[in-house]
């Protein structure tokens, strides 16, 4: 029985879960700004204790690898890698958008349309991709600026459900009748369980020393312009 600790910090939601054989048995999560650094290790301890396990009884640590918040991903991945080093356990990385789509399908098992998870990337840009109802990837993951013509070919063919913290701001421009929106939270470590268990069964592990989050875009630090020196 694979017992896996799961960590999700790609958005403003700090989320931890423990699963056994692909089923979530405990989780702890909270939404808010700047939660991850202060609360992640506390949430991990609470979730492991609520599952009735010790850290050594865990078989692996799974982490949401991105795309998403640069700072959030660094905190989540560094914490997961530290646990793997300390416990001598394998590291599993789960693509954040795939986790969101898997969560939607877990809550809507009879759904047969397309799924478009979106993570807010400021203004009208989102990190996004498109899955079918079998979690096959139909479009590559990208940072996409959304306008009225976005996804028009796919939307002309069938229903597509948009979800995630980037979807709400797109509702005003994505007005095709086949565009549906679900405001529920799918950025939850509890929805990582099936994907993490499959990765464990297939021994799809990451190199703990070299693994880095999937940022998708480079982190850019802006600096104020220097004042001109008058001669």
Q: What is the pLDDT of residues 50-72, one digit of tens each?
A: 999 999 999 999 999 999 999 99
Q: Please indicate, yes or no, if residue 226 is contained in any of the structural domains.
A: no
Are 176 and 112 part of one and the same domain? yes
Are 28 and 82 part of one and the same domain? yes
Are 42 and 146 part of one and the same domain? no
Are 87 and 21 part of one and the same domain? yes
Are 110 and 145 part of one and the same domain? yes
Q: Please indicate, yes or no, if residue 206 is contained in any of the structural domains.
A: no
Are 58 and 132 part of one and the same domain? no
Mean pLDDT of 21-34: 92
SS3 121: coil
Tens digits of residue pLDDT in 120-169: 998 889 999 999 999 999 999 999 999 999 999 999 999 999 999 999 88
Tens digits of residue pLDDT in 168-218: 889 989 999 999 999 999 999 999 999 999 999 999 999 999 999 999 875
- Segments in 51-192 forming alpha helices (H): 70-87, 96-107, 152-155
Boundary residue ending a domain (139, 154, 182):
182
Are 46 and 82 part of one and the same domain? yes
Per-residue model confidence (pLDDT) at position 221? 43
Q: Please indicate, yes or no, if residue 216 is contained in any of the structural domains.
A: no
Per-residue model confidence (pLDDT) at position 101? 98
Domain count, the chain: 2
Are 103 and 74 part of one and the same domain? no
The domain that holds 29 is classified in CATH as 3.30.420.40
Q: Please indicate, yes or no, if residue 156 is contained in any of the structural domains.
A: yes
Q: Please indicate, yes or no, if residue 144 is contained in any of the structural domains.
A: yes
Q: How many other C-beta atoms lie within 10 A of the C-beta of residue 48? A: 20
Domain that includes residue 27, residue range: 3-95+187-201
pTM, 2 dp: 0.91
Sign of CA dihedral 152, 154, 159, 161: negative
């Amino acid at each position: 029985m694979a017992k896996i600790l799961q960590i999700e910090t790609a958005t403003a939601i700090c989320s931890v879960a423990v699963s056994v054989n692909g089923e979530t048995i405990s989780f702890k999560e909270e939404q808010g700004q700047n939660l991850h650094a202060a609360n992640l290790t506390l949430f991990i301890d609470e979730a492991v204790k609520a599952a009735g396990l010790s850290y050594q009884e865990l078989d692996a640590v799974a982490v949401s690898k991105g795309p998403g918040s640069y700072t959030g991903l660094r905190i989540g991945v560094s914490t997961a890698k530290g646990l793997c080093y300390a416990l001598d356990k394998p590291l599993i990385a789960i693509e954040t958008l795939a986790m969101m789509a898997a969560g939607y399908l877990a809550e809507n098992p009879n759904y047969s349309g397309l799924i478009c998870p979106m993570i807010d990337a400021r203004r009208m840009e989102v990190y996004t991709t498109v899955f079918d109802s079998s979690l096959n990837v139909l479009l590559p993951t990208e940072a996409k600026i959304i306008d009225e013509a976005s996804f028009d070919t796919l939307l002309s063919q069938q229903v597509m459900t948009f979800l995630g913290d980037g979807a709400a701001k797109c509702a005003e421009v994505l007005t095709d009748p086949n565009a549906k929106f679900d405001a529920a939270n799918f950025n939850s470590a509890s929805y990582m369980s099936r994907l993490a268990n499959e990765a464990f069964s297939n021994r799809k592990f990451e190199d703990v020393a070299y693994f880095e989050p999937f940022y998708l875009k480079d982190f850019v630090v802006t600096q104020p312009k220097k004042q001109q020196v008058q001669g």
